[in-house]
């Protein structure tokens, strides 16, 4: 993700995916996630099945995609309202239960402590592995603590982001290089070729995922950057952990799908066309709908490949940037189809 001149942002969702003891979830978030998955999965699955049946003809496939995406888009607004209301309802219910009888509260607290201990062990194990895969420039105790904090924030941000780190923990196919003394990566790599195929200096990047080498470079100093939104530059805070989450997401896409970082397999025409349609629709909306800087950055890339690889990483980026609930809310509002694609297509592959 480039950082000087173009000023790149790199960024995050929420949603619910059960992680078999790997992730800590608030009850309200878990229940609302289940509801979201229940209410949306049928539409998304229907879309996928319809496309599969019609795949014999490219023209028919594209027409079906357009019709299905349009129909799905129209369903987003009421779904978002429902999820928001459900979250508030579950939060209130959880609060009422915790203030109930002393005896019941004591038992519940004990159960929560045990669950918290299990979750902490899973988190610490995952972060320990990620630290073993990380090289910190001119390392010392303070820098180690800072970098560990990056991984902890990514892990805690959302079930989706903790699953992403857990995937990397098990796969161990990535190398992360971090410079805690700079906001760019020039001390880690002098020259590189970006996703658009352009040769650039390391000073122009806040972070960069070398997909084919499975290496991530990160400038670990936070600060303020200029983000180009609709031809105007807007100042936004730069958080290294957000950039790191997005770069790691690109590596995960490559490790799963083996397709240059795209979130679908080389021979999967159905999901390739679906994702292309989602990228196109998101690009068409960006000038009329208020979107986060990370979305604008992803869509500002010059080549279709660069836009596809960059846009999918917006989901974990915004979840880390805003947290689980707010991040998911913004994702559903700004890029709903991208969010559902991540949840219903990418997440199952990541879990398996």
Quick one: the chain helix, strand, coil %, rounded to 5? 60, 10, 25
Residue 310 has pLDDT above 70, yes or no: yes
Least confident interval from 14-18, 112-116, 141-145, 302-306: 14-18
Please write the tens of the pLDDT for every residue from 66-77.
Answer: 565 555 545 444
Mean pLDDT confidence for 11-24? 38
Mean pLDDT confidence for 322-336? 94
Residue 127 has pLDDT above 90, yes or no: yes
Please write the tens of the pLDDT for every residue from 233-255.
Answer: 777 777 999 999 999 999 999 99
Q: Which residues of 92-114 are buried (b: 16+ CB within 10 A; e: fewer)?
A: eeeeeeeeeeeeeeeeeeeeeee
In angstroms, rounded to a whole number, what is the distance separating the alpha carbons of residues 199 and 204?
A: 11
Q: In terms of pLDDT, which residue wins out, 44 or 124?
A: 124
In angstroms, rounded to a whole number, what is the distance separating the alpha carbons of residues 320 and 257?
A: 23
Residue 144 has pLDDT above 60, yes or no: yes
Amino acid 27: pLDDT:
45
Nearest to residue 25, comparing CAs of 226, 222, 160, 186?
A: 160
In angstroms, rounded to a whole number, what is the distance separating the alpha carbons of residues 225 and 179?
A: 18
Residues 6+ apart with CB under 8 A from 129: 168, 169, 172
**Arithmetic mean of pLDDT over the chain:** 79
In angstroms, rounded to a whole number, what is the distance separating the alpha carbons of residues 284 and 231?
A: 15
Please report which confidence band the pLDDT of residue 352 belongs to, taking 50, 70 and 90 as the band edges: confident
Task: Indicate yes or no: pTM above 0.95.
Answer: no
Residues 6+ apart with CB under 8 A from 63: none
């Amino acid at each position: 993700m480039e950082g000087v001149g173009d000023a790149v942002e790199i960024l995050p969702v929420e949603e619910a995916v059960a992680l078999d003891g790997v992730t800590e979830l608030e009850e309200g978030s878990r229940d609302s996630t289940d509801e979201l998955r229940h209410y949306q999965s049928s539409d998304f699955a229907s879309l996928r099945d319809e496309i599969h049946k019609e795949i014999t003809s490219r023209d028919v496939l594209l027409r079906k995609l357009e019709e299905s995406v349009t129909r799905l888009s129209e369903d987003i607004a009421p779904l978002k309202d429902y999820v928001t209301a459900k979250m508030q309802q579950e939060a209130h219910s959880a609060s009422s239960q915790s203030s109930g009888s002393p005896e019941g509260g004591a038992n519940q607290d004990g159960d929560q402590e045990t669950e918290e201990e299990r979750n902490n062990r899973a988190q610490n194990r995952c972060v320990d592995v990620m630290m073993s895969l990380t090289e910190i420039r001119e390392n010392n105790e303070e820098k180690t603590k800072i970098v560990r904090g990056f991984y902890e924030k990514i892990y805690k941000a959302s079930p989706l982001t903790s699953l992403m780190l857990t995937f990397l923990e098990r796969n161990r196919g990535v190398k992360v290089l971090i410079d805690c003394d700079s906001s760019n990566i020039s001390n880690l790599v002098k020259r590189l070729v970006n996703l658009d195929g352009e040769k650039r200096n390391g000073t122009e990047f806040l972070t960069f995922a070398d997909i084919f080498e499975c290496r991530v470079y990160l400038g670990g100093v936070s600060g303020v950057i200029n983000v180009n939104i609709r031809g105007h530059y807007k100042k936004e805070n730069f958080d290294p952990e957000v950039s790191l989450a997005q770069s790691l997401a690109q590596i995960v896409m490559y490790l799963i799908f083996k397709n240059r970082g795209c979130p679908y397999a080389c021979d999967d025409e159905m999901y390739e066309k679906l994702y292309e349609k989602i990228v196109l629709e998101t690009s068409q909306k960006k000038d009329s709908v208020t979107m986060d800087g990370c979305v604008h950055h992803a869509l500002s890339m010059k080549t279709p490949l660069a836009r596809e690889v960059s846009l999918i990483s917006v989901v974990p980026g915004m979840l880390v940037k805003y947290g689980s609930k707010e991040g998911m809310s913004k994702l559903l509002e700004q890029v709903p189809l991208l969010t559902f694609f991540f949840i219903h297509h990418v997440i199952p592959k990541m879990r398996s």
